A and B are shown apart, each in its own frame.
Chain A
Amino acid sequence: MTEAVAGNRRLTPEAKLYLGLFARYATIIGLVAMIAVFSLLSPRAFPTLGNFTNVLNQASLAMIIAGGLTLAVVVGELDLSIGFAASLHGVLVTGLIVANKLPIPVAIAIVIALGALIGLVNGIIVTKVRVNSVIATLGVGTILTGLAFAYSAGVPIVAGVPEAFLQVSLGRWLFGIPNNIVIMAVVLGGLWVLVERTSLGQEIQAVGGNPAAARLAGIDVGRIKTLGFVVSGMCAALTGVLLASRLGSGTTSAADSYLLTAFAAVFLGSATLRDGEFHVLGTLVGALIIAFGFNGLNIFGAPTFSQYVFQGAILIVAVGLSSLGRAVAES
């Protein structure tokens, strides 16, 4: 890539500076440009407070699960179990409320604790048994899918879901802001503080940056990596709960597709502001790009398949731009 750019012509230092800046801000520029274009094309439907709230509300679940995934990738691992886990958690929380008549907060607490436990299992398999995280979490995720089918026999739990559970996701608390958005803001804010502003966050970043150096600096690398999986698992559980609440049912496989969206958001985020580093703020930007893109395509009545094409293409373009810019900066 260095050759492709630097090889064909000499770049002046100014050109390099601008290309470097472009690489860092390309995703943000893209987001702003996309919003601008959609606003111009559809001035009545798109740029309204109602639509923006709607987009954020829709995207909140993906942002939460992607925020959790960010922790797993920051410590240098991948968590492919999150989508399957969220599906299981959705089925389970509905079942606990409908079949076991547990109070809603208790059911949610149990499911989120289970999410942490699944993360712990992922972490132990990866750090103690030393199974590659792609394989470990794919295996665990597949097992979880099996458990979800075993629990519900593949039949969605619909009947008897109390209105109060639906309100967890559909309700509006402060100033009429949808609960989903409030919960998302709290979770992502918390994750940002954890990674960027605490001593634990410094250790997390060190483990992701150079595990060997982190270990010799006295950091317990296995513990930190496991923590990444635990956070990822808890966020997946929360997403599963909110999805079940929004759908009003516990459906196996309902949240599976969040895996892809979360990865797209996280990798788009790595191309934002920092050269190829994963971070919470970047993930937020990545998730917004995907959300507004989908929304725009919907408004213009684009066929469903185009959403997949959009999601795949934007990911490749953004990450490609970022690594190209980095190569320029380093040449």
Chain B
Amino acid sequence: MLAPQSPRAADAVPLVEAEDVAKSYGGAHALKGVSLSIAAGEVHGLVGANGAGKSTLIRILAGLTRPDRGEIRVEGVPVDIATPHRATELGMSFIHQELAFIPGMTVLQNIMLGIPKASRFGMVDWRAAAREVAPIAARVGITAPLSASVKGLSTAENWLINICRALVRKARLIVMDEPTASLSASESEKLFAIVEDLSASGVAVLYVSHRLDEIQSLCDRVTVFRDGRSVARLSRAQITRPALVEAIVGGAVEHLPPAARHPATGDVVLEVDGLVRLPKVKGVTFALRRGEVLGLGGLVGAGRTEVARLLFGADRLDAGAMRLEGRPYAPRSPTAAVKAGLGLVPEERRADGLVLSKSVAFNLQLSNLARIVRSPALPLIDYRRREALSLKTVRDLAIKTAGIETPVGRLSGGNQQKVVIGRWLLRAPKVLILDEPTRGVDIGARGEIHKLIRALAAEGMAVIVVSSEPDELPDLCDRVLVMAEGRIVRELSGEAVSRNAIVEASYAEAAPPAERSFA
């Protein structure tokens, strides 16, 4: 299945090579044997489903963990990357999804962190440092002054600062992990230009992403991981979406037919009238029916997540009213919302959805505790019931886990998400809100999660899906409300629900077109 190497890579010793690298944690094989070869100055894509082993290889290259087997070579010389410091010495630089800065320091201080600096009279010569950094900062397009504090800078600027830091350290390979996950479209465009510029100047980029269109347009070559093995290496001409998807999934993808959209006919469960919470929500009115999957679309910053927070009692209303099954509903806290019959699958599942150190069963039963105790008066847990219910959920949702007592932190992203959804399944809320239900989830699990959401609606649950992925809402929803500037600007239902209609509505009504986009 391995494609012949492109001529560009074959004519020189590769910059960084990994050969048959394997790594297991406890009994689990994270890497069963992967090989990767990155030429100087190329943009090399690394793709694979969650759990395929991408992060493990990156951790090995970064000196954060040691391989059990295999060899890493830099310019043909075998190396032992024992520490992150050694990785830096070898010219490798890593930019992670969670960017780490010291908030009290300036841009310049953060860039120079850990880099030997010139000194004058025993004190750091910041002027000399600034002279060294300034041209590089200009090249990557940092607009903030070097003396500014990093506090309050955007994610995009943080990325630029990190790239600048890598270049000051004379990095020859920059590893970018899901770089556009939190960037807007225009910010992403800027990043792509920088990646191409880096490549042209001889700096190689290892580009790790779930976003196949980016991989297609940016990468010279792509390596695909699946289940801890490198299963394909595609050269420029071979990088097509079907080829990538097939290699990632390892078989045909189950395509969910676009939602057979029903005009919802069930009873109204939730009525929302003139919700206001400034500055983000400026008047939102809608009704949600039993058995309906309602999408909330729009650009990042349009106010969708804020609406979800209001519904769930996480924030207070400035104005407006809600009714749940005809009765006034004014939750003072998430606790009250859950009691009233709502459930939320939050956007940040690791931070807000799960207790990572605890078991699958623990996390599944967290909102269902009242139903697994022996009696309300003596709330001792009935472990047989807990086990039976947990096993049933694991089976029903096809959660891939060694057992129900496995810590949930060891599961892949998609399976973690299923645990959060499974928790609400057990409780059967009247209204389930899912915020970005498939972000960072691989293609296979995404289809399964979509099917699951539709099944819940079919059983009569009312579902609200908030999503920034343009394709997700048409796949999933009976009806889509498009938000812009804190208001609902368009309602799409039936045939009118399409990716293009959502995007068009999001942009059409949004006032100044400055810094707003999908993603």
Contacts and interface: CB of A to CB of B under 8 A. Distances in A.
A277 B25 CA distance: 21
Q: Which of A3, A6, A213, A218 has the most CB of B within 10 A?
A: A218
Interface in A209-259: 209-210, 212-220
Contacts of B312: 216
B357 interface: yes
Interface stretch (B31-39, B177-185, B232-240, B329-337): B329-337
Contacts of A198: 373, 379-381
Contact of B357 (A2, A209, A218): A209
Nearest to A4: B83
A213 B66 contact: no
Interface in A182-223: 193, 197-203, 205-206, 209-210, 212-220
A190 to B, nearest CB: 12
A209 B350 CA distance: 12
B357 A277 contact: yes
B478 to A, nearest CB: 26
Question: Which of B83, B335, B372 is the most central at the interface, judged by chain A CB atoms within 10 Å of its CB?
Answer: B335
Chain A interface bracket (under 10, 10 to 19, 20 to 34, 35 or more): 20 to 34
Q: Is the interface of A mostly helix, strand, loop or mixed?
A: helix
Contacts of A201: 381
B369 A203 contact: yes
Contact of A206 (B64, B65, B334, B358): B358
Interface in B287-342: 312, 314, 333-335, 337-339
Contact of A199 (B66, B354, B381): B381
A331 B66 contact: yes
Interface residues of B, number: 39
A3 B338 contact: no
A13 interface: yes
Contact of B82 (A7, A206, A210): A7
A13 B381 CA distance: 36
Contacts of B423: 217
A10 interface: yes
Interface string A1-29: 01100111010010001000000000000
Interface string A96-133: 00000000000000000000000000000000000000
Contacts of B26: 13, 17, 329
Given A6-B66, A216-B346, A331-B65, A197 B380 contact: yes
A302 B61 CA distance: 53
A200 B366 contact: no
A10 B70 CA distance: 13
22 contacts: A2-B65, A3-B83, A7-B82, A13-B24, A198-B380, A203-B369, A206-B362, A209-B356, A209-B357, A209-B358, A212-B351, A212-B352, A213-B366, A215-B335, A216-B334, A217-B338, A217-B423, A218-B335, A218-B337, A218-B339, A219-B335, A329-B26
Given A6-B66, A202-B362, A220-B333, 6 more contacts: A205-B362, A209-B356, A213-B354, A214-B355, A216-B314, A218-B335
